[in-house]
Amino acid sequence: MKLKNSVTIVSIIISVIIFSTFLASQLGKNVWTSTLLLILFGVIGIAGLVKLRDPVILELGVIGFVADIVWELYGTGNRLWGYYDSPFYMIGGTLPLEVTVLYFFLGMTAAVYVLYRLEK
């Protein structure tokens, strides 16, 4: 029972971090927040991949990566939003590299979370 409660607490903390990232991006100060989340989700995703050795983890990461590229290119291409403070840019100078990698690791983290919960 303790383990399930600790996983729920971790889920709440991750939800708060994701919400704060969204809020920070709306305020235009998301470079350091997204970098912190990139490291956090990267460590969780890679550690889960090493421990669980399930290809679904990479598959969900790739789905998150591709979905974010499509969504971001649509939004920045139609000038619905823009990124101006990012030190890294990808495709056409409008899409920050760290955002797509963040969603790759976020997809991996989501898969690790679900697989971990299914094991217990």
- Residue 65: closest CA among 27, 110, 2, 35: 110
Q: Which structural domain range is residue 88 located in?
A: 2-119
List alpha helices for 1-120, DSSP H.
Answer: 2-27, 31-52, 55-77, 97-119
Can you give the pTM of this predicted structure? 0.72
Asked if pLDDT for residue 2 goes beyond 50, the answer is no
Structural domains of the chain, count: 1
Among 27-36, 39-48, 51-60, 89-98, name the most confident range: 51-60
User: Which one has a higher pLDDT value, 45 or 13?
Assistant: 45
Residue type, 23: L
